[in-house]
Amino acid sequence: MRSTLPIAMLLLSSACATVGPPPPPSAELPSQTNLVTQEPMLTYPATRRTDQSDLQFGVAVADPYRWLEHDVCNDREVADWVAAQNRVTDAFLATLPLRDRFKARMTELYDYERFGLPRKKANYFYTRNSGLQNQSVLYVRDSVDGPGRVLIDPNGWSKDGATALAEWSPSDDGRLVSYAVQDGGTDWRTVKVIDVASGRILPDELKWLKFGGGVEWAKDGRGFYYSRFPEPAAGQTFQAASRNQQVLYHALGTPQAADRLVYATPAFPDYGHGATISEDGRWLVITTRVGTDDRYEVTLIDLARKGAKPRTLIKGFTNNYSYVGNVGPRFYFLTNDGAPKLKLVAIDVAQASAAPRTVIGEDDATLESVSLVGGRLIASYLVDAKTEVRVHDLDGSLVRKVALPGIGTAAGFSGKANDQETFFAFTSFNRPTTIYRYDVASGAARVWQAPKLAFNPDDYAVEQHFFASKDGTKVPMFIVRKAGSTGPAPTLLYGYGGFNVPLTPGFSPTRLAWIEAGGTYVLANIRGGGEYGKAWHDQGRLANKQNVFDDFIAAGEYLKASGITGPNQLAIEGGSNGGLLVGAVVNQRPDLFAAASAAVGVMDMLRFDRFTAGRYWVDDYGYPNKEADFRTLLAYSPYHNLKSGVHYPPVLVTTADTDDRVVPGHSFKYISALQAADPAGAPHLIRIETRAGHGSGKPTTKVIDEYADVFAFLGHFTGLDAAD
């Protein structure tokens, strides 16, 4: 969550310009045959249009489908529209021969044992999924290689499997575990506590947590710190903007209403706060943010002094200062202050105004994270979007590099400052996650848990290519296909391009099913992400957002020019900010793509900041109520730049009724405008899941069903039906 190219004609009048979704289709369609695919033409549900229009900076912006922003759970007309759209979509998807094939194979590929990274708090806590369980189960072991026993199994919490175990945190003595319940995919969390020895659930229950629904245990285990929002007004649970987050302390055995307020900024309701306790238990470290950018204020509260006042250590929301750990008063922070690719600094908090001192300087590679474990600093870097891990002494001197199994992504390396062991996960496009135990002193690593596979990873080749974008910038992409494949093939191009989020190699059973069927999968590391630090992010946001779309378009052109895919074999996919990406490039280059899938996308760039988490996204998108940002946003907003008379490629939009991250109204309005713009063209459909949110917590069965539908749709229009 920009110098743009104009992608909509402004109809000038004497006073202002009028832009917006295209007019409704003619009552008489030119043909009963699809003009693009020559298949029988679809009949879309009738969607009511209104004359809603807003005058913004001299521009009359039409918004005829605004009524579709209403919460589907509380508006009968919207619910009926959803049902009607789903009937059309389901009927079309049922005709696709790849649908059942994908579902069967994805089910087989998902059926393998998966483990999460263990956390050591006296005992070893970790998640495990036996294969096709809808939700992973929390286990506990007494020793690192001992037998595990079930602690929390969420699979019986709901009939549809859509109630998930989200964040969880053991107390320092391993006696208690707090855990968050996520129902139906919402960002909201309900926190409970379980006794590890007996399995008894304590009466404590906390509500209205989101965006970091975990808790931070006090060292004595008698309570914990957490962040929450006020209870939303009736009917606004999934739509109201998230403001006035507070940090509180909860004493076990007391009601939430009695929780003690620790930190809040009522004069600045847009500030968000998260709390961490230093390992020595003395300091509460509060990190405050105002948006999605990594620019924070850091406040300390001395827990050793009763009634101690908060002390702001880092002021101004200028730079990233992410707390890593401390050794006494020496605090380590990851920062981009004077280092666009990040560095590690230390601050002596015993001094009133100590300046940060560099411990690990900026490198050509992008520093992604640092952990303080076993008296060492373990630093994880991105080198052309691939992980490299280095171990340093506390003074910053390099000890060694961690040997990784190949080109891929490593994550983990957490633990206490005196732990001599830590764990990390490694994955790649052709390798499911394997968990390794790492000896910090010796550097020896061994497999802790590895999956048994129903395929041979060596049957698939992973390559990295670089291509030139419109302005000449070199952009990397990963290409994954069957080993030995050389000729053009149906290709699925994926991108995100925003919020400083890097896309790195990772395993997905659904992607593998696409490749097994004869397709090629491509991940493009376009600008806006975090692959190359702050500069790469800055080049793909605000006034530079068009660079993101140019990069993705250039990726598609490269794949065709290099013979990786054919003229009518390129499909694109993206979710959330990546859904915006798909919508924008389909508008700008409808000729380039054979099919597209936009998942939970941000499609109305003039109203995104009015709902739930949308207000945070102004760091990447800008402010719709500021004229310069408004004109930039209007130039690429997917909803506002659809044109009548243009034949758009087949598009399948996916969203969910309880998505309270990107509210489904974005997708509802966009697909309505697209169906109106091109009624006799290729299929433009929407798949609306029930009891599902933005993605996290989605049960395995729903994941398989959704991707079987999406890939069958994309495969049908790229020729994958006959590719294998």
Whole-number Å distance between alpha carbons of 527 and 546 = 10
Contact 137, 152 (CB under 8 A): yes
Contact 494, 508 (CB under 8 A): no
Look at the block and give the residue holding tokens 């009548």.
Answer: 644
Q: What angle do CA 459, 462, 463 make, to 5 degrees?
A: 140
Other Cβ atoms within 10 Å of 340 Cβ, number: 16
Asked about 70 being catalytic, the answer comes back as: no
Contact 381, 334 (CB under 8 A): no
Contact 445, 402 (CB under 8 A): yes
Q: DSSP readout, 164-184? A: EEEEEEE-TTSSEEEEEEEET
Contact 622, 629 (CB under 8 A): yes
Main-chain phi, psi angles of 492, to 5 degrees: -110, 115
For 569-624, strand residue ranges (E) read 570-575, 595-599
Q: What is the largest CA-CA distance in the chain?
A: 79
Look at the block and give the residue holding tokens 């990190």.
Answer: 287
Q: DSSP readout, 179-210? A: EEEEETT-S-EEEEEEETTT-PEEEEEEEEE-
Contact 127, 138 (CB under 8 A): yes
What element of type H or E holds 224?
Answer: strand 223-228
Q: What angle do CA 627, 628, 633 make, to 5 degrees?
A: 95
State how beta strands 651-656 and 595-599 pair. Answer: parallel
Main-chain phi, psi angles of 415, to 5 degrees: 150, -170
| Candidates 576, 637, 667, 672; catalytic one | 576
Contact 386, 407 (CB under 8 A): yes
| Candidates 273, 684, 694, 716; catalytic one | 694
Indicate the burial class of 51 (C-beta count within 10 angstroms; 0-12, 13-18, 19 or more).
exposed
Which of helix, strand or coil describes residue 648? coil
Token couple for 440: 């910090």
Which of helix, strand or coil describes residue 464? strand
Asked about 576 being catalytic, the answer comes back as: yes
Contact 492, 519 (CB under 8 A): yes
Which of helix, strand or coil describes residue 516? helix
* Residues belonging to the active site: 576, 694
